[in-house]
């Protein structure tokens, strides 16, 4: 860094990537990056993100034939007190979906912009159910590629995931309680490789079992997290954290969690 | 109620715009709002649904618009709607299959695997972090503009932007490990 400039901080790096710096500061930040290769790599990654994200969504900036009609329909529905047919249709459709999904549990919409400050940094314990939930939401609904390695290669699956996680791993057998293995995949858990196993019952209901490293290395009891019908049981056993997630009853999920706990090496 | 970033209404005695004026302004903004709504959501159907809710809310609240910077005002409405509806709609989007099939498709550019990875990483972001990221990157707003628009301290905007970027980086790096070193 040149001697007369103020120190480069993270906000400068964001502004650099987003093109908000004046030429003088920009040159200073560039010089600093030349001497800080790790930061330079990070900034280059951010720039790639920017480009990728822009190209992902730029084509959505488009007119569509129904736009004018949409606007007049919405305007018209506001001038009449009765619920618009369209709105009623959407409400009915939403109710139907919720009913079919079987997730009618007291849903409370969060108040507008309730989060005014920065949330606390997640600890491994707090983030485990969040990560388990995300993994479930992303992969359990994936019809074509829910897993990377299928159940037919169970031995390979265990050794592959065990190798990637750096500890021996048995794939729990849940067939006694009605869930058959679909397969597994590698997923990031707290920034490290973790394993996600997916199971399915005869009705096609899926549950996932997430296994990940836990650097805090402290043991917890069984804990429970519930979010709009999506249930997660999780526990931490020394260096490894486990989370079982599914859109099924708490009782049934606990059966699965108990079974996993019994089968995973302690 | 979200406020525009300007803080200035029309001057007293300023003639109110004629009927249809506001609708026309919104109509002109629809392409941009469509892009923003899609950048927040996981699917085309969900994006259109959010866009429609935003239009409805904007029309219903037109008297709160201060007469300038309609885009920022509408984006603030969209962001609030997104945060309130996100959880229940991502898993069960309130849009029928028929409706979803009718949506015009958008030409997909680039390597589909790369797009999938990026999309997966974006979907792992917390809503409030994703919204800030998109307002900056896709909609081109400055940090202070985002802070004003969402009524947040600038420090919160920066920490959300930072969390979004770090999280994406972690996710994309992890995905790299998986796809490049997958054993036979």
CA distance A91 to chain B (A): 8
**Six-digit token pair at B91?**
């898993």
Give the model's pLDDT for residue A113: 30
A239 near A214, Cβ under 8 Å?
Answer: yes
Inter-chain contact A53–B162, Cβ cutoff 8 Å?
no
Give the model's pLDDT for residue A159: 81
**Six-digit token pair at A129?**
């159910």
Largest Cα–Cα distance of chain A, in whole Å? 71
Of A62, A98, A193, the CB nearest to B31: A62
| Separation CA A112–CA A141 (nearest Å) | 29
| Separation CA A41–CA A230 (nearest Å) | 38
Give the model's pLDDT for residue B1: 41
Residues of A in contact with B80 (CB under 8 A): 112-113
Give how many domains chain B has, as a whole number.
2
B16 and B96 together in one domain = yes
Of A93, A107, A138, the CB nearest to B120: A138
Of B35, B84, B143, the CB nearest to A61: B35
B54 and B116 together in one domain = no
Give how many domains chain A has, as a whole number.
2
| Residues 118-157 of chain B whose Cβ lies under 8 A from any Cβ of chain A | 118-120, 122-124, 128, 133-134, 136-138, 142-143, 150-153, 155-156
| Residues 97-116 of chain B whose Cβ lies under 8 A from any Cβ of chain A | 104, 106-107, 109-110, 114-115
| Domain final residue pick, B70, B85, B106 | B106
Give the model's pLDDT for residue A118: 34
User: Which of A89-103, B101-115, B137-151 is predicted with the least confidence, judged by mean pLDDT?
Assistant: A89-103
CATH of the domain at A214: 3.30.200.100
Residue A107's closest chain B neighbor by CA?
A: B88
Domain residues for B141?
A: 111-184
User: Which of A56-65, B121-130, B143-152 is predicted with the least confidence, judged by mean pLDDT?
Assistant: A56-65
| Residues 106-135 of chain A whose Cβ lies under 8 A from any Cβ of chain B | 107, 109-110, 112-113, 115-118, 134
A163 and A242 together in one domain = yes
Domain residues for A213?
A: 124-263
Inter-chain contact B92–A97, Cβ cutoff 8 Å?
yes
Residue B114's closest chain A neighbor by CA?
A: A52
A48 and A129 together in one domain = no
Residues of A in contact with B84 (CB under 8 A): 109-110, 112
Give the model's pLDDT for residue A217: 60
Of B47, B88, B168, the CB nearest to A228: B88
CATH of the domain at B169: 1.10.10.10
Q: Is there a domain that residue A49 lies in? A: yes
Give the model's pLDDT for residue B88: 52
Residues of A in contact with B133 (CB under 8 A): 53
| Separation CA A45–CA A49 (nearest Å) | 6
Give the model's pLDDT for residue A203: 86
Largest Cα–Cα distance of chain B, in whole Å? 75
Residue A188's closest chain B neighbor by CA?
A: B174
Of A53, A186, A228, the CB nearest to B118: A53
Instruction: Per residue of chain A (266 residues), give pLDDT as tens.
Output: 445 678 999 999 999 999 999 999 999 999 999 999 999 999 999 999 999 999 999 889 888 877 888 887 777 777 654 444 444 444 444 433 333 332 333 333 333 333 333 333 334 444 788 888 888 887 777 766 777 777 777 778 888 777 777 777 888 999 999 999 988 888 877 777 788 999 999 888 899 999 987 766 667 777 888 887 888 988 888 778 889 999 988 889 989 998 998 888 76
Interface probe, candidates A52, A99, A138, chain B, greatest B C-beta count within 10 A: A52
Q: Is there a domain that residue A88 lies in? A: no
| Separation CA B112–CA B114 (nearest Å) | 5
A162 and chain B in contact, CB less than 8 A: no
CA distance A140 to chain B (A): 11
pLDDT digits 0-9 by tens, B73-94: 999 999 999 988 755 554 444 4
pLDDT grade for B107, boundaries at 50, 70 and 90: low
Kindly state the helix (H) or strand (E) to which residue A75 belongs, with its residue range.
helix A67-79
A14 and chain B in contact, CB less than 8 A: yes
Task: Give the CA dihedral B86, B91, B96, B98, nearest 10 degrees.
Answer: 110
Q: How far is CA A221 from CA A182, A218, A225, B11, in A?
A: 28, 10, 13, 63
B28 and chain A in contact, CB less than 8 A: no
| Domain final residue pick, B73, B106, B139 | B106
ipTM > 0.95 (yes/no) = no
| Domain final residue pick, B51, B80, B106 | B106
B56 and B119 together in one domain = no
| Separation CA B148–CA B2 (nearest Å) | 10
């Amino acid at each position: 860094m040149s001697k007369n400039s103020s120190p480069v901080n993270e906000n400068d790096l964001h502004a650099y990537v987003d093109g908000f710096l004046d030429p003088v500061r920009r040159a200073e930040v560039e010089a600093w990056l030349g001497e800080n290769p790790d930061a330079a790599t990070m900034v280059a990654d951010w720039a790639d993100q920017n480009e990728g994200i822009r190209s992902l969504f730029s084509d959505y900036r488009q007119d569509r034939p129904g736009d004018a009609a949409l606007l007049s329909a919405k305007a018209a529905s506001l001038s009449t007190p009765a619920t618009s047919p369209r709105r009623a249709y959407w409400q009915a459709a939403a109710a139907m979906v919720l009913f079919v999904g079987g997730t009618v549990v007291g849903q409370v919409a969060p108040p507008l912009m309730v989060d005014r400050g920065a949330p606390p940094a997640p600890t491994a314990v707090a983030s485990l159910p969040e990560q388990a939930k995300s993994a479930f939401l992303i992969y359990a609904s994936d019809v074509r590629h829910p897993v990377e390695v299928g159940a037919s290669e169970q031995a390979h699956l265990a050794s592959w995931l065990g190798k990637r996680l750096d500890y021996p791993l048995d794939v729990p057998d849940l067939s006694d309680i009605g869930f058959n293995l679909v397969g597994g995949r590698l997923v990031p858990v707290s920034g490290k490789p973790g394993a996600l196993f997916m199971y399915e019952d005869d009705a096609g209901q899926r549950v996932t079992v997430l296994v990940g490293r836990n650097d805090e290395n402290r043991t917890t009891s069984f804990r429970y997290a519930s979010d709009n019908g999506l249930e997660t049981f999780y526990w931490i056993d020394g260096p490894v954290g486990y989370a079982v997630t599914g859109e099924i009853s708490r009782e049934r999920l606990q059966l699965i969690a108990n079974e996993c706990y019994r089968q995973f090496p302690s | 109620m979200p406020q525009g970033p300007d803080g200035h209404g029309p001057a007293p005695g300023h003639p109110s715009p004629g009927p249809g004026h506001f609708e026309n302004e919104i109509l002109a903004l629809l392409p941009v709002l469509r892009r923003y709504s899609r950048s927040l959501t996981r699917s085309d159907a969900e994006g259109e649904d959010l866009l429609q809710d935003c239009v409805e809310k904007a029309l219903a609240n037109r008297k709160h618009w201060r007469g300038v910077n309609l885009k920022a005002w509408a984006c603030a409405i969209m962001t609030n709607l997104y945060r309130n509806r996100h959880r229940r709609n991502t898993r069960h989007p309130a849009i029928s299959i028929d409706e979803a099939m009718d949506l015009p498709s958008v030409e997909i550019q680039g390597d589909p695997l790369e797009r999938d990875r990026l999309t997966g990483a974006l979907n792992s972001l917390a809503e409030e972090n994703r919204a800030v990221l998109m307002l900056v990157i896709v909609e081109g707003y400055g940090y202070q503009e985002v802070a004003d628009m969402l009524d947040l301290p600038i420090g919160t905007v920066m920490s959300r932007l930072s969390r979004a970027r770090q999280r994406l980086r972690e996710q994309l790096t992890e995905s790299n490990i998986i796809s490049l070193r997958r054993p036979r």
